[in-house]
Each structure stands twice: as structure tokens, then as C-alpha cells.
Amino acid sequence: MYRAIDRDGNLVDTMLSEHRDMAAAQAFFRSAKAATGVTPERVTTDGHGSYPRAIRTVLGRRVVHRTSAYKNNGLEQDHRGVKGRTRCMRGFKSFPSAERFCRSYDELRNLLRPRTRHNQHVPADRRRLIHLRRAANALAMLEMA
């Protein structure tokens, strides 16, 4: 599972791949770059061997690649929700259904997030109002589909 978040913790892009190799890493970095239209200054990963070359070829040599376990914690915590949902469902029967679930789960979760900046305090009553409004919008979109 490939995921990208920005410094505020907002979801940039997500991709599920059957293999964790150079081609998958390059496809994910191309997709994330196309989603934002911006080349990042820094990329933090878990240190898999295919990342340095994929970053250089897709994003360029000027992008700083960091592999610190501590700097990767934000992404791992963000990824915990998907892991928790798939674990209780005991996996998926097919790869396409897993891919569909992961993408839609992340998009809906990102839509319902109450904060706009990392570590921004939002009072409980305001959070509830934002959540109800966004949930109503999500339900309206699902009804139209």
C-alpha cells in the first residue's frame, strides 16, 4: 500500500499494488505528482530499496529523500485506520476489491476530517457541525452515483 500525505497530514494520494518494486514505486510517485501538480522538496519513506532510484527518476535529483523511522511516524499513524479495517474483515477476496476499498476509505476519511491544518485545535461543537455537514455531502454524492 502506497500512501502520501502532506506536512499538514492531508491525504495526497494512495495506491495499492500487488508488488512492491521499482515499477510500482515509480507509478505511485508519478500519480502523487500528478495529483498535486507540484514536485516536493522532501520525501520521507520507510527506506525500501526501490525508493531512492524511483524518487530520482520521477521527481528529480534535487528532492531530498529521508528514511528516518521517527519522521515516518505521521504516515504510519495515518495508515493505521486502513490496517485496522482490513484486519477485522480478514482481508479481501480479490485485489480489485481491496484496491477499491482502500481508495474510497481514504478519500471518505479525508473528506470527513475536521481540521484544516496539522495540530490545529477545533472545538468539539464546531467539529460536530463540520462532520455532520461533510457527512451529509458525502451521502448526497453517494446517492447520485
pLDDT in tens, 42-86: 888 888 888 899 999 999 999 999 887 777 766 667 667 777 766
Contact (Cβ atoms closer than 8 angstroms) between residue 130 and residue 114 = yes
Rounded Cα–Cα distance for residues 44 and 51 (Å):
10
Regarding pTM above 0.85, the answer is no
CA of 19: how far to CAs of 59, 74, 115, 137, in Å? Answer: 21, 24, 34, 35
Which residue reads 519522521 in cell numbers? 71
Tell me which amino acid residue 108 is: L
